[in-house]
Amino acid sequence: MGTVDFGGVLKEVCLEYLPDLEVGEYTIVHVGFALQRLDEESALQSLELYRKLGALEEEFGDQWGLAARQAGERRPPGTDERTPR
């Protein structure tokens, strides 16, 4: 097991498929498993694409705010950005 930084969100993932993965390397993670090593350029291009698609915010970001924006509503009372998720 290892800790992976998803743009500031730290998650434990299984490194069974990439046991030699080192700190500072990039990987594709799916359902908690590190599946493939990426070079930095490919990783940064992928991250930018996910940002443009809103996938990073959807996965790790402001869930209350995202739901409110998608519904065309204001954030529900008591759900400011400091509210634990």
Backbone CA torsion sign across 7, 8, 9, 13: positive
Give residue 23's pLDDT.
92
Give residue 58's pLDDT.
59
Nearest Cα to Cα of residue 30 among 13, 43, 46: 13
Give residue 2's pLDDT.
93
Rounded Cα–Cα distance for residues 13 and 56 (Å): 17
Give residue 85's pLDDT.
42
Give residue 21's pLDDT.
94
Pick out the chain residues at pLDDT < 50. 82-85
Give residue 53's pLDDT.
74
